[in-house]
Structure 1
Amino acid sequence: MTPRQPSRKTARPVSDEELSAPVVPPPAKEPAKEPAKKAPARRTATKTAAARTPAPRKNGSRGVRPAPPLDEADRGRLLAGEHHDPHALLGAHVVRGGVVFRVLRPYATEVTVVAKGLRAELFEDGDGLFSGLLPLRKVPDYELLVRYDGDEIPMRDPYRFLPALGDLDLYLIGEGRHEELWTALGARRMRHQGVEGTRFTVWAPNARGVRLAGDFNYWDGTGLPLRSLGASGVWELFVPGIEEGTRYKFDITRPDGSHTLRADPMARRTECPPDTASIVTESRHEWQDGQWMAGRGARPHHEAPISVYEVHLPSWRPGLSYRQLAEQLPAYVRDLGFTHVEFMPVAEHPFGGSWGYQVTGFYAPTARMGTPDDFKFLIDALHQAGIGVLMDWVPAHFPRDDWALAEFDGRPLYEHEDWRRSAHPDWGTLEFDYGRKEVRNFLVANAVYWCQEFHIDGLRVDAVASMLYLDYSREDGQWAPNEHGGRENLDAVRFLQEMNATVYRRCPGVITFAEESTAWDGVTRATDQVGPGGFGGLGFGMKWNMGWMHDSLDYVAKDPVHRKYHHNEMTFSMVYAYSENYILPISHDEVVHGKQALVSKMPGDWWQRRANHRAYLGFMWAHPGKQLLFMGQEFAQGAEWSADHGPEWWLLDDSYHSAGDHRGVRDLVRDLNTVYTATPALWERDTRPEGFSWVAGDAAEDNVFAFLRYDADGSPLLAVCNFSPVVRNDYRLGVPEQVAAWTEVLNTDAARYGGSDVVGTDPVKTESVPWNGRPASIRTTLAPLATVWLRPA
């Protein structure tokens, strides 16, 4: 093992047999051994190899002859960190006259080779190099004893091992088709040639050399250069004894000869920001969610109830670790009846203020709340509570930090070479080069990694629109058209298609969501189905309905007296409702940066704001599409969300005079979810026109919307929304004539929710009075600023 600290005072115990073994006879005229001298911090050669050869080199023991000197060019490249094959120079090699041992150990004062029947001190060659020629016929099973100012440390020689990465791995990496890339690149604990250690691999095709630096060598990578594995661009080194928890980075020699110290792009664990080192990790988590995993996806997602609670983990309850969150979050979400949680990005990111949307560690959950196994523990707990886990995934861009991905090996690598396709104009970040097969592989495998290794049930892909359009947020002259003269990023299209197809094939039951804010055709269409625009579908399972979100929020923000002029903003969504598989998002983006919390968007006094808030949620849960609600909005928090202190939980405390108001809204959300999941009419035909029918879509003067939802058997649910602050008595609505009577199953105006309690307790009978184009109708009382759900009595 390479030393973590030079603190051991003695060498590894050597057996009596080794100590009494005869020393190899010295060659004729062997020069007398020079007395060992205390080394400076690091020794430097002062003569050329040719000039040193006739003279005795320092140290060495009886039976050890000076090794043939290294070629000066090889020596220079090795010491500069620019040699592509350090294993050809270092380690033990059979040559004419014996076996040459050569070791590069900066700061060492002595290096001794120990094997069965052998103990031989090597000559010091300067610059941290030690060598010797022993008259052996083959390379023995040896170890090294390395002395640092009196501390002698036993270790295995990393340069005695064959490559620990197989030909199949290299072939798949070269093809850009390694779907488990994390098993081939990065740091992986393993047993190799009978020895425990860690294999380090990194893709850096433009590098002149790569070395390994870490807390095991005082962050000086001189003594641990990696070897190049040919045209793959991969560099590799197996280091015996490196254990879990070890911190490391790659010291990369750029094409211009300068050096850059980089975190591992494939690191599966990192230091807690602001520290940036990668950490060797090994999972020991034993999953307990077998029942969940076996059953997920049993029903097609577009025909299943999906109600999502969006969470920013660091601020949901600030200060909690992953394991502490596992004690609280599942119980809270289950109590409110949500079917899923969605985590805002958890991949490692240096700046907390980005909320995780500027990722540097794509394969590592953030260390702010614990280890990767701690994160698995949280997911496991949610699954055992019957809650699915979705995760924001950010393949659209990455930050420019000089220790991360930007110009990783000295040239554009993960980003596009053309500045018009690499620099993101909005966020000051870099965009991935989706046309490069290795970059595409890095991202596709990353999507699979989270679903396969962490049992994530779905990926919400951030900023898809910024990936699809070459002119996204760019002016003329800042972008170049594709080969067909269009503005579509064809590389990004192919990447998204490959990602979706691969995830669905490898991870049954997983669903992908697109945050796509334009009218791109076929976001949720299968990749093998070509649409009117000539493109195959992108292959997502669902798409965020940004149009519904903007239009409906614009409507409810208006004073009721003006809403009749904006009536179509609430009905327009049904014009395109079946063009994609939609989820209706009230996400974190809508409650920050001056947009106000959901309840604060509403007009009127405090009572009216809460009433509007409740009526809107009732409308949302009844509208075709799945639901997503950001934390804090489930209890009508009035302030914008802050990542520093999270939801204002104190609003629910007994000591707060209006706690009941907030609890009432939370109780409504619980009941919305309970009735929703128990009523197939609200989700079974979300993506089919026969699952919806307008009853009153044109009652603009009344600010009323009424519609029917149907399940697969034709059983209906009637949703009526009154967005006017007045009670409407004996309001007539057309209904199916085969239903004899209707009963309220949910009314957002109920007193327990904080409403005025204009509720119907008795069934409403169907009358043979034609209305709204139907042969039958009912008369009911509409509560003010309220949504009512009715179903057959």
Structure 2
Amino acid sequence: MALRDLKLPESSSPSAGSATAVDPSDRGRLLAGSHHDPHALLGAHPVPGGFLFRALRPFARSVSVVIGGEPMALTSEGDGLFSAVLPLKAVPAYTLRVAYEEAEYEVEDPYRFLPALGEFDLHLISEGRHEQLWKALGAEPMTHQGVAGTRFTVWAPNAQGVRVAGDFTYWDGTQYPMRSLGSSGVWELFLPGIGEGARYKFEITSRYGHRFLKADPMARRAEVPPDTASIVTASHYTWGDDAWMAHRGDVPVHEAPFSVYEVHLPSWRPGLTYRELAEQLPPYVKEMGFTHVELMPVAQHPFSGSWGYQVTGFYAPAARLGSPDDFRYFVDACHRAGIGVIMDWVPAHFPKDDWALARFDGDPLYEPGNAQRAEHPDWGTYEFDYGRTEVRNFLVANAVYWCEEFHIDGLRVDAVASMLYLDYSRDSGQWAPNVFGGNEDLAAKAFLQEMNATVYRRVPGVVTIAEESTAWDGVTRPTEGGGLGFGLKWNMGWMHDSLQYISKEPVHRKYHHNEMTFSMMYAYSENYVLPISHDEVVHGKQALVSKMPGDWWQRRADHRAYLGFMWAHPGKQLLFMGQEFAQGAEWSEAHGPEWWLLDPGYCAQGDHRGVQDLVRDLNAVYGRTPALWQRDTTPDGFRWVIGDAADDNVFAFLRFDAEGAPLLAVSNFSPVVRHDYRLAVPDDVPAWFEVLNTDAARYGGGGVVRTAPVEPEDGAIRITLPPLATVWLTP
């Protein structure tokens, strides 16, 4: 029942009377921003003789209640409080006329409105089961009790009081104290007349009396750094990717082609916005034959020169490149080009910026209360408290949010190992075992299982990918079988071992031969992605081509041969931008990939553009050859032909599709041509054709290629192996 429906006995004509002064304790807490129920003091309330109207308007010269166009002045109580008793039978529709020195405004009274958040929402929040949490918390433009405005809600259970401050209050929260909605820890206030574009923060008074401004943890839009305010927003975007969304999950990802181009959006083409990137990046990715683009974190982060892993706005796309709807436009453009979009998601930690999540309401809230446990030892950040219901809900809903609101096709989850182990990067005495005496973080495990199960249930067709660098059992096993429930896992072991091998001089590679074959010992223990990611080509690790030994020709040849080996190896593949054309320098956020290397006036056909042509062809042959992806996760999709030719630096294996059709991949990581090299092949193939050769002249190679088919004799074929090259053959 609204206040206007409350009835009183008949009274005299409406003329203002003096109000009973507010209790000094209540007054003090209200003005100090530490009152849990400002609606009990402000607005209209029945009293003997009528209704008491009270308003809090700091710096106002006068305040009047306007009923039917007639103003009735309230009396100043000092400190911005104005009140009077009006002898009314019921509370009519009314507004407030507020006069300042420079102007006068007629506004709705926020304190005449009932809570704009329902009991069911509060129940789900308390249970940690609100899977669309962003629709309950944060700033939601809406029409409430027939009036347009914005509902502000925030979870701050340890706060004495919370107020809304914004550009509409000159960043002073005194005017708009919020009410506590009981044991949920949620504070709420509906502000009529506040709409999209308004900038705001929450002014929190801690239990210790400290007062500070915090950005909204659930903000769906944020200011461009270094500014840190949250922005009221709503989506008005109309999607055009219905066909993509309807069919993206038709084939399970581990049985489908999956070739990923990893991109740091701000530096791919520095200076471009989301909408400008939408015109350039999808066509490039499509032309290169990649099936997906993976975006390094697009969630709001404070330092523009970073990769984005220090997230301060988990629900807001990075503002430097445009608005949330601009980011939707970018994703839509990728989908309309037939490109899937994966984004890096960072639930492992968050930075300590004093305006963001850290000690949000004056106490540890999103981070564990144990200071030693809260500190992330590697990054100077806080870890999340995965054992806390509301924190777990915040993160699970965030994963759902990106998939539902932005049509994201996959979440690559960063730093999973740091979440799973209590002793991660910690020495003895710096951690405590779990209840079973082990080093596993059971709460983090439960969170990841819940996140994966929820995402797969709510958003069919989405894949989750774990960056997990240990031998944790069952990362990609379904949650009902006790696994973590990821769809794919980065194969960090393959990455480390193969890069170790390829960085050796060819004369020494025979001593490291097993580093290239060992991956097949565990290739089917999980569903793997082979990552040559940003982590491997920066911070002194050198670009991929620069890891190779020898002169420039040899390094490029090794680079091409390695990519050919990688694309043929069981598992999906990922390549960081710039590596597709053998950029020699490490990544720089200032200028991004060195596109000028592809300028015809700079390089010959067989140089950087040759490597780029190879990657395009690798993807093209890969996409039309089911043997390279259909049985990635089953042992019957692979067979060694030669796995022990260490002295020759040669590897040869067969890949098979679901019907048994083979592809033969042969890599010669020696700088010498090997003539008449014998390879055992299936008896039922009458002839083999070379479908890809990384030594082709158009790629910058020496041109040791074969155009004629080769027929087997006595169960084997004999071919010439080009130096530092990979060759693919099919029936």
The equivalent of 2:144 in structure 1 is 192
**1:518 matches 2:462:** no
Kindly provide the amino acid, as one letter, of the partner of residue 398 in structure 2. N
Separation in structure 2 between the aligned mates of residue 286 and residue 117 of structure 1, nearest angstrom? 41
2: CA distance, partners of 1:87 / 1:620: 64
Write the distance in 2 (CA, Å) between the matches of 1:708 and 1:660: 29
1:782 maps to 721
Aligned to 2:299: 347
CA apart distance, 1:660: 4.5
Distance 2:564 2:550 in 1: 19
1:750 maps to amino acid: A
Does the 8 A contact of 1:652 with 1:659 survive in 2? no
Contact 1:728–1:783 (Cα < 8 Å) also in 2? yes
Q: 1:571 aligns with which of 517, 528, 533?
A: 517
Q: What's 1:548 paired with?
A: 494
Evaluate the alpha carbon distance shift between residue 131 and residue 352 of structure 1 in structure 2; reply closer, same or farther with a 3 A threshold: same
Partner of 2:696: 750
Which amino acid in 1 is paired with 2:646? A
Instruction: Write the mapping of 1:268-417 to structure 2, written as runs, cut at 5 A.
Output: 268-417=220-369
Question: Partner letter of residue 357 of structure 1?
Answer: Y
Q: TM-score, normalised by structure 2?
A: 0.98
Indicate if the aligned counterparts of 2:606 and 2:697 stay in contact, CA closer than 8 A: no
Residue 643, structure 1, aligned to residue 589, structure 2: yes
- Which residue of 2 is the match for residue 712 of structure 1? 658
Q: Say which of 252, 268, 275 aligns to 2:204.
A: 252
Identify the residue that residue 47 of structure 2 maps to in structure 1: 95
Q: In the TM superposition, what whole-angstrom CA distance separates every residue of 1:3-36 from its partner, at most 9, and x where no partner exists?
A: xxxxxxxxxxxxxxxxxxxxx978xxxxxxxxxx
Partner of 2:445: 493
CA distance in 2, matches of 1:614, 1:77: 70
Code of the aligned partner of 2:224: C
* 1:605 is the counterpart of 2:561: no
Separation (CA, whole Å) in 1 of partners of 2:43 and 2:15: 19
1:258-269 equivalence runs, <5 A? 258-269=210-221
In the alignment, does 2:565 pair up with 1:619? yes
User: Structure 1: which amino acid aligns with 2:728?
Assistant: W
Which string of whole-angstrom CA distances, capped at 9 and with x for unpartnered residues, describes residues 82-120 of structure 1? Answer: 111100100111211011110000011111111216320
Q: Could you say which residue in structure 2 is the equivalent of 1:561?
A: 507
Deviation at 1:658, TM superposition (A): 4.6
Q: Tell whether the 8 Å contact from 1:283 to 1:372 is kept in structure 2 after alignment.
A: yes
Output the amino acid matched with 2:722: A
Contact 1:102/1:129 (<8 A) preserved? yes
**Structure 1 partner of 2:708:** 762
1:672 aligns with 2:611: no
Cα deviation, residue 657, structure 1? 3.9
| Gap change, CA 1:150 and 1:640, over 3 Å in 2 | closer
Given that 1:210 and 1:252 are in contact with CA atoms closer than 8 Å, whether structure 2 keeps it comes out as yes
SS of corresponding position for 1:199: strand
In 2: Cα distance, 1:266 partner to 1:525 partner: 31
1:702 aligned counterpart, secondary structure:
coil
Paired with 1:713 and 1:659, the residues of 2 have a C-alpha distance of 38
* 1:528 alignment partner, SS class: helix
Distance in 1 (CA, whole Å) between partners of 2:274 and 2:689 is 44
How is 1:694-713 mapped onto 2 (pairs within 5 angstroms)? 694-713=640-659
- Pairwise CA distance, 1:746: 0.4
Correspondence for 1:38: none
Q: C-alpha deviations, 1:120-158, integer Å up to 9, x for none?
A: 011111000011111101111001111110401111000
User: CA contact under 8 A between 1:91 and 1:160: conserved in structure 2?
Assistant: yes
Partner of 2:686: 740
Deviations 1:458-486 (A, max 9, x none): 00000000000000000111101111111
* Structure 2 counterpart of 1:220, from 167, 172, 175: 172
Q: Is structure 2 residue 398 aligned with structure 1 residue 441?
A: no
Whole-Å separation in 1 of the counterparts to 2:36 and 2:540:
54
Equivalent residue of 1:765, what SS?
A: coil
Could you tell me how far apart the structure 1 residues matched to 2:90 and 2:312 are?
46
The one of 618, 630, 639 equivalent to 1:693 is: 639
Shifted more, 467-476 versus 91-100: the winner is 91-100
Number of the residue aligned with 2:730: 791
Letter in 2 for 1:600: S
* 1:143-154 correspondence runs (5 A): 143-154=95-106
Give a deviation string over 1:163-185, Cα, whole Å, max 9, x none: 00001000000000100000000
1:659 to partner: Cα distance: 6.5
Q: Counterpart of 2:5?
A: none
Three-state SS of the structure 1 residue aligned to 2:46 is strand
- Residue by residue over 1:576-595, the C-alpha shift from the partner in whole angstroms, topping out at 9 and shown as x without a partner, is 00000000000000000110
* Partner secondary structure for residue 399 of structure 1: coil
Given the alignment of the two structures, is residue 165 of structure 1 paired with residue 104 of structure 2, yes or no?
no
CA displacement at 1:63 relative to structure 2: 2.0
Give the corresponding residue for 1:533: none
Q: How many residues matched?
A: 721
Query: SS of 1:764's equivalent?
Result: coil
1:560 Cα deviation from its structure 2 partner: 0.4
Q: Distance in 2 between matches of 1:306 and 1:687?
A: 13
Equivalence for 1:54? none
What one-letter code is carried by the residue in structure 2 that aligns with 1:625? G
Q: Letter of the 2:137 partner, please give it.
A: L
Among candidates 430, 436, 451, match of residue 478 of structure 1:
430
Go from structure 1 to structure 2 and tell me whether the alpha carbon gap of 1:657 and 1:682 turns closer, same or farther (over 3 Å shift): closer
- Code of the aligned partner of 1:293: M
2:578 matched to which residue of 1? 632
The CA distance in 1 between the partners of 2:106 and 2:711, in whole Å, is 89
Q: How do 1:47-66 residues align onto structure 2 when only pairs under 5 Å count?
A: 63-66=15-18
Q: Structure 1 residue 365: deviation in Å? A: 0.5
Residue 605 of structure 2 contacts residue 698 of structure 2 at CA under 8 Å; is this kept in 1?
Answer: no
Rg (Cα) greater in structure: 1
RMSD over aligned Cα, in angstroms? 1.0
C-alpha separation in 2, matches of 1:161 and 1:401: 34
Report matched runs for 1:174-193 at 5 Å: 174-193=126-145
Which residues of 2 match residues 417-436 of structure 1 at below 5 A?
Answer: 417-436=369-388
TM-score normalised by the chain length of structure 1: 0.90
Q: Which runs of 5+ in 1 are unaligned?
A: 1-23, 27-61, 530-535, 769-775
Q: Is the 8 A contact 2:306 2:589 kept in 1?
A: no
CA distance in 2, matches of 1:97, 1:546: 76
SS in 1 for 2:266: helix
What's the counterpart of residue 594 of structure 1? 540
Structure 1 residues 659 and 127: alpha-carbon distance in aligned structure 2, compared to 1, 3 A threshold: farther
8 Å Cα contact 2:605/2:699 also seen in 1: no
- The 2-side partners of 1:311 and 1:396 are apart by 21
Q: In 2, distance between residues paired with 1:706 and 1:361?
A: 48
The match for 2:85 is: 133
CA contact (8 A) 1:727 1:784 kept: yes
Q: Structure 2 unaligned runs (5+)?
A: 1-10
- Structure 2 residue 674 is matched with structure 1 residue 728: yes
**CA distance in structure 1 between the aligned counterparts of 2:630 and 2:131, rounded to whole angstroms:** 34
1:208 and 2:168 correspond: no
Shift of residue 655 of structure 1? 2.5
What residue number does 2:71 align with?
119
Taking the aligned partners of 1:552 and 1:673, their CA distance within structure 2 comes to 20
Q: Which ranges of 4 or more aligned residues in structure 1 deviate by more than 6 Å? A: none
Q: Is the 8 A contact 2:375 2:382 kept in 1?
A: yes
1:105 to 47, 57, 62: 57
Find the counterpart in structure 2 of residue 234 from structure 1. 186
The one-letter amino acid of 2:333's match is A
Alpha-carbon shift at residue 352 of structure 1 (Å): 2.5
Cα deviation for residue 671 of structure 1 reads: 0.3
